[in-house]
Structure 1
């Protein structure tokens, strides 16, 4: 299958979108200056680290369990309330509205590391170490500013466009994004001893710093996990497992395993592979909040195994 013009999402105002993407990418980096000032002049409070951890885990699982395993690959089924919570948490991660995120990712799987893949580090970037660096930069963050291969929502996510819960969260994306910062500030205020200063530093750490760390952890799946690591399964692309990145991405860095079995609720399909997102899905299942959880049996694993 080759990509066509109908595969690409049309952009009404590409300049505006690039400005917004630039702000979301650059402002958290600039926040590091405030972090350096705080560490030097004020001292980092335990409440700041607590807010950072809470918001990183909550919004990160919104992406991995919600946007990725539930909405993109339908690895399990759940209630409308849980769907709404996961869609809201994923939106608070500020990686884009849920339907656009899913459309891009489904297109990535349809054309993985071939022409049509929105963020392959291997296609059209030249050869040698310069081509490799250009490819990694494109896959990591450059593709966010280029709209020539973004997945068309009507083509790649029609099911979610018809879903009233997901469609509502998608339409109100900006409020979920802002809400994430407000929640971070509220947590800082409460955990920091009912202090407005702790509320502001909560926004810094649980909002801006969390966004920076989570974004680059997610981006590393697109870049590093298609360039470095092991390939225990045959997938027809360059997806790879990167063990050290798995804890930071809640199990998403078992990327070769994921590409081998895209609908599996567990990406760390081999013994000993840490996959917190799969653990959350298993917990939901035990509570009766998830069902039809997709699992891969041993025969299918061995059929694709190369090592």
Structure 2
């Protein structure tokens, strides 16, 4: 991070810039609908199809591998490295993490980071792109808010100002290149499981089932796990640490979200590399960062300290 960036939100302080930089063009808007709704349709179809045909150990193994590959790319790369600067990564690892995150089909790295830094800058207030509390606290308002926070906000035509919220990534030539490769990486993350499944089974049917389960269904499941952090983890759960918003810990999502659902500590201390800091709180993203540190691939990791946690703890 440069000295002009806020450590928590990454907001450029060099004069006022608007939150919104413009609106998506028609082609981009169509692409958003396609890459959100097609995997979702596959997820809906998966339950009845599971009973009738075509899921084998190859499909399961590929789905699990690509779920972890792309999911950790988002949590470790997009989120803890690029958005919050929780550690510094050597250049090869930085590029690999950007590619891994892109393969989750959640938008290019610069767009994702700008949206998330904006979320932290205005968390659960006007300006937050995906707060469930923007419409009020009545049952209908919370229902509407849940839909908006979970996935409704993605269909908004307005785009977050990347020059305001991600100037450091805009100036990084490596991230710029990965950003431009996003359409190709989206195709790769869907096609590659099918290619591998076809080669292992040596059949077109094996290629199709791997494409369906490890491509489309895996992307859809990962989408909803990530979106649940925006929706559920700002509505339900425990809040042992003081934050400026309603971010909460929701333990049932901890393993699937790679530790991201320990959301309360994250909003209380956004640059911390570990989100699950209490006993029994599994945080696989933090464990991977720890492994990277042991290999010397990352430095300056912002691990939590007892003194910092005590300062942030809610006094009863």
- Looking at structure 2, the residues matched to 157 and 38 of structure 1 have their Cα atoms a distance apart, in angstroms, of 42
Please report how far the alpha carbon of residue 39 of structure 1 lies from its aligned counterpart in structure 2 after TM superposition. Answer: 2.8
- Is 1:73 the counterpart of 2:84? The answer is yes
Which position in structure 2 is the counterpart of 1:155?
Answer: 164
- Is 1:211 the counterpart of 2:200? The answer is no
The equivalent position to 2:154 in structure 1, one of 139, 144, 149, is 144
Provide the aligned length of Structure 1 versus Structure 2: 301
Instruction: Map residues 39-78 of structure 1 onto 2, 5 A cutoff.
Output: 39-78=50-89
Q: Is the 8 A contact 2:55 2:209 kept in 1?
A: no
Q: Secondary structure at the match of 1:119?
A: coil
Which position in structure 1 is the counterpart of 2:116?
Answer: 105
Instruction: For structure 1, list consecutive stretches of 5 or more residues without a partner in the other structure.
Output: none
Q: Is the 8 A contact 2:241 2:268 kept in 1?
A: yes
- Is 1:184 the counterpart of 2:193? The answer is yes
- Looking at structure 2, the residues matched to 39 and 270 of structure 1 have their Cα atoms a distance apart, in angstroms, of 38
TM-score (norm. length: structure 2) = 0.91
Q: Deviations over 1:183-212 (max 9, x none)?
A: 211231244x33221111111111100111
Q: Is the 8 A contact 2:190 2:215 kept in 1?
A: yes
Which position in structure 1 is the counterpart of 2:140?
Answer: 130
Q: Deviations over 1:136-195 (max 9, x none)?
A: 0000001111144x431000101001111111000111011111112211231244x332
Which position in structure 2 is the counterpart of 1:265?
Answer: 273
Q: Is the 8 A contact 1:106 1:151 kept in 2?
A: no
Q: Is the 8 A contact 2:54 2:209 kept in 1?
A: no
Which position in structure 2 is the counterpart of 1:241?
Answer: 249
Q: Is the 8 A contact 1:9 1:151 kept in 2?
A: yes
- Looking at structure 2, the residues matched to 127 and 18 of structure 1 have their Cα atoms a distance apart, in angstroms, of 30
Against the structure 1 CA distance between its residues 113 and 33, is the aligned structure 2 distance closer, same or farther, given a 3 Å change threshold? Answer: closer
- Looking at structure 1, the residues matched to 103 and 249 of structure 2 have their Cα atoms a distance apart, in angstroms, of 27
Instruction: For structure 2, list consecutive stretches of 5 or more residues without a partner in the other structure.
Output: 1-10
TM-score (norm. length: structure 1) = 0.93
- Looking at structure 2, the residues matched to 285 and 38 of structure 1 have their Cα atoms a distance apart, in angstroms, of 43
User: Would you tell me which structure has more helix in proportion to its own residues?
Assistant: 1
- Looking at structure 2, the residues matched to 251 and 118 of structure 1 have their Cα atoms a distance apart, in angstroms, of 22
Please report how far the alpha carbon of residue 7 of structure 1 lies from its aligned counterpart in structure 2 after TM superposition. Answer: 1.6
User: Bigger shift: 173-182 or 98-107?
Assistant: 173-182
Q: Deviations over 1:3-34 (max 9, x none)?
A: x7712131251x43332222222111222465
Q: Secondary structure at the match of 1:10?
A: strand
- Looking at structure 2, the residues matched to 215 and 269 of structure 1 have their Cα atoms a distance apart, in angstroms, of 25
Deviating above 4 A after TM superposition, structure 1's stretches of 4 or more consecutive aligned residues are none
Q: Deviations over 1:107-128 (max 9, x none)?
A: 10011011111111111x1341
- Looking at structure 1, the residues matched to 225 and 43 of structure 2 have their Cα atoms a distance apart, in angstroms, of 17
Which position in structure 1 is the counterpart of 2:232?
Answer: 224
Which position in structure 2 is the counterpart of 1:251?
Answer: 259
